[in-house]
């Protein structure tokens, strides 16, 4: 069964490549949380326009600045004239359009440049959908990410800090930075202390059974903390899957070259796994086929 | 929960008014997260019908693979 949400909230859920877009209606106006991946932007504009039914999109707010959450920002801004609000810690990366800090170059992803109008900091409150939401710092997957929590209805808009099955890749250590694992754990501890009835995650359907979800998430972060190679390998597979979702298909023989164009995968392999190039591609391919993240069709490789 | 038919193509085909990847209307995509399983099954049945109706003309132009019989 789908989880009951207030009438004023509409989750636009597509596949994994586009993060969920959450429309929050209040009278004749609306606020949207996150905008999906750039290659889906035209459909995102259509979807939002359709759901608005004449109401005005006044603000677009992001949970964090990864490509699958900000890809529609520019198109939505152009289509609806909405103001864009981003987490305060991301001001410089977005203002300077720092493609490394935004992880676009390392992950081989695209986004359309946009300008934000406002910043929102952890600890501040924002009205969305007739409810008051607290902006919570949820560092880990992205050190500057915010989640939005409404204590009255006990709803958490978690972005990639908490999914029904885990959370977004913990990037900091893999990018040569610090504290991603520790921060992920304290973020989960902080969130697990909140009274939560429903989580609207960045990817996947809204869910209610939060105790089991936290248990799973804690187990996962602890297993990564105990074994960095496991985190590294998981991250490589996620990033290759994501890149293939965008690419859709390629000749099977081109897969090794495709993988080796992703700087993050090459670098993380070098630093943590140390497989020779051909073995890396063969092993990633084997494991992604096994979980149906990729499929073979004659001489082609297709996203799952 | 019945899984969404989205295959991450997420672009509307202006000729058919359907998503080029999952064959849903904008209305069906927007409503998906709110639908219970019986209604999701109805959408999936409609998707299967549209796919069958369209695939003969689209076999050459569509390259996402997943829906190829």
| pLDDT tens-digit map of B11-58 | 999 999 999 999 999 999 999 999 999 999 999 999 999 999 887 655
- Give the C-alpha separation, A108 to A261, whole Å: 8
Task: Give me the pLDDT at residue A209, please.
Answer: 87
Is there a single domain that holds both residue A65 and residue A168?
Answer: yes
A292 belongs to a structural domain: yes
pLDDT tens string A87-140: 999 999 999 999 999 999 999 999 999 999 999 999 999 999 999 999 999 999
A116 belongs to a structural domain: yes
Quick check: A15 and B7 CB within 8 A?
A: yes
B27 belongs to a structural domain: yes
Task: Give me the pLDDT at residue A3, please.
Answer: 85
Q: What is the CATH number of the domain that holds A248?
A: 1.10.10.10
The answer on pLDDT for B59 being more than 60 is no
Is there a single domain that holds both residue A241 and residue A106?
Answer: no
Of all residues in chain A, the percent with pLDDT exceeding 70 is 100
Grade residue A2 by pLDDT with cuts at 50, 70 and 90: confident
Nearest Cα of chain B lies from the Cα of A86 at a distance, in angstroms, of 24
B66 belongs to a structural domain: no
Nearest Cα of chain A lies from the Cα of B59 at a distance, in angstroms, of 15
- Give the C-alpha separation, A229 to A205, whole Å: 30
Our count of domains for chain A comes to 2
The answer on pLDDT for A257 being more than 70 is yes
State how far the alpha carbon of A83 is from the alpha carbons of A91, A118, A119, in Å.
15, 8, 11
What rounded mean pLDDT belongs to chain A?
A: 97
B36 belongs to a structural domain: yes
Nearest CB among A1, A11, A43 relative to B33 is that of: A11
Q: Enumerate the residues of chain B whose CB falls inside 8 A of the CB of residue A17.
A: 8, 10
A256 belongs to a structural domain: yes
Is there a single domain that holds both residue A249 and residue A211?
Answer: no
B7 belongs to a structural domain: no
Is there a single domain that holds both residue A238 and residue A216?
Answer: no
Final residue before a domain boundary, out of A169, A201, A226:
A226
B25 belongs to a structural domain: yes
Candidates B27, B34, B63, B64: best to mutate against A (most CBs of A within 10 A) is B34
A3 belongs to a structural domain: no
Our count of domains for chain B comes to 1
A101 belongs to a structural domain: yes
Q: What is the CATH number of the domain that holds A130?
A: 3.60.15.10
Is there a single domain that holds both residue A61 and residue A91?
Answer: yes
Is there a single domain that holds both residue A213 and residue A272?
Answer: no
Nearest CB among B6, B12, B64 relative to A248 is that of: B64
A1 belongs to a structural domain: no
Q: Kindly state the tokens that stand for B40.
A: 């999701």
Q: Enumerate the residues of chain A whose CB falls inside 8 A of the CB of residue B6.
A: 14-15
- Residue A183 neighbours by CB under 8 Å, 6+ apart: A139, A140, A143, A172
- Give the C-alpha separation, A251 to A47, whole Å: 33
Q: Enumerate the residues of chain B whose CB falls inside 8 A of the CB of residue A46.
A: 12, 26
A4 belongs to a structural domain: no
Q: How many distinct helices (H) and strands (E) make up chain A?
A: 11, 14
Nearest CB among B9, B12, B30 relative to A51 is that of: B30
Task: Give me the pLDDT at residue A1, please.
Answer: 59
Quick check: B26 and A47 CB within 8 A?
A: yes
Is there a single domain that holds both residue A114 and residue A21?
Answer: yes
Task: Give me the pLDDT at residue B58, please.
Answer: 53
* Closest-CA residue to B33 (of A168, A207, A36, A293): A207
Final residue before a domain boundary, out of A179, A201, A226:
A226
Domain extent at residue A246? 234-303
A199 belongs to a structural domain: yes
Nearest Cα of chain A lies from the Cα of B28 at a distance, in angstroms, of 10
> What is the predicted ipTM?
0.91
Grade residue B66 by pLDDT with cuts at 50, 70 and 90: very low
Quick check: B34 and A2 CB within 8 A?
A: yes
Per-residue pLDDT, averaged over A185-203, amounts to 98
Is there a single domain that holds both residue A254 and residue A211?
Answer: no
The answer on pLDDT for A84 being more than 60 is yes
B65 belongs to a structural domain: no
Is there a single domain that holds both residue A100 and residue A245?
Answer: no
Grade residue B69 by pLDDT with cuts at 50, 70 and 90: very low
Chain B CB within 8 Å of residue A46 CB: yes
Is there a single domain that holds both residue A141 and residue A267?
Answer: no
Is there a single domain that holds both residue A198 and residue A248?
Answer: no
Domain extent at residue B16? 12-57
Sign of CA dihedral A249, A254, A255, A260: negative
- Residue A177 neighbours by CB under 8 Å, 6+ apart: A143, A171
pTM score, whole prediction: 0.94
Final residue before a domain boundary, out of A226, A246, A267:
A226
Nearest CB among B7, B33, B66 relative to A2 is that of: B33
Is there a single domain that holds both residue A167 and residue A267?
Answer: no
């Amino acid at each position: 069964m789908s989880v009951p949400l207030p009438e004023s909230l509409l989750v636009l859920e597509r596949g994994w490549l586009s993060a969920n877009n959450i429309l929050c209606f209040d009278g004749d106006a609306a606020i949207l949380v996150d905008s999906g991946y750039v290659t889906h932007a035209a459909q995102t504009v259509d979807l939002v326009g359709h759901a608005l039914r004449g109401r005005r999109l006044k603000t677009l707010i992001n949970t964090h600045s990864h490509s699958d959450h900000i890809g529609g920002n520019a198109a939505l801004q152009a289509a609806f004239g909405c103001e864009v609000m981003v987490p305060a810690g991301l001001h410089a990366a977005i203002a300077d359009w720092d493609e490394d800090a935004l992880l676009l170059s390392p992950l081989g992803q695209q986004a359309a440049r946009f300008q934000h109008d406002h910043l929102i900091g952890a600890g501040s409150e924002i009205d969305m959908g007739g409810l008051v939401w607290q902006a919570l710092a949820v560092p880990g997957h992205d050190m500057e990410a915010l989640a939005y929590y409404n204590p009255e209805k006990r709803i958490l808009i978690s972005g990639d800090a908490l999914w029904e099955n885990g959370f977004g890749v913990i990037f900091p250590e893999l990018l040569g930075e610090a504290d991603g694992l520790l921060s992920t754990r304290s973020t989960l501890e902080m969130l697990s202390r909140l009274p939560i009835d429903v989580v609207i995650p960045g990817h996947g359907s809204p869910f209610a059974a939060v105790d089991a979800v936290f248990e799973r998430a804690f187990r996962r972060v602890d297993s990564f903390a105990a074994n960095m190679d496991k985190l590294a390998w998981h991250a490589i597979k996620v990033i290759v899957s994501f890149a293939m979702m965008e690419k859709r298909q390629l000749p099977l023989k081109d897969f090794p070259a495709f993988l080796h164009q992703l700087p993050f995968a090459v670098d993380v392999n070098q630093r943590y796994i140390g497989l020779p190039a051909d073995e890396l591609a063969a092993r990633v391919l084997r494991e992604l086929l096994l979980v149906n993240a990729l499929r073979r069709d004659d001489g082609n490789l297709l996203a799952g | 929960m019945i899984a969404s038919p989205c295959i991450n193509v997420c672009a509307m085909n202006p000729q058919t008014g359907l998503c080029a990847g999952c064959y849903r209307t904008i209305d069906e995509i927007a409503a998906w997260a709110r639908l219970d399983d019986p209604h999701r099954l109805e959408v999936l049945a409609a998707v299967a019908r549209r796919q069958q109706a369209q695939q003969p003309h689209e076999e050459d132009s569509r390259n996402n693979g997943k829906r190829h019989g």
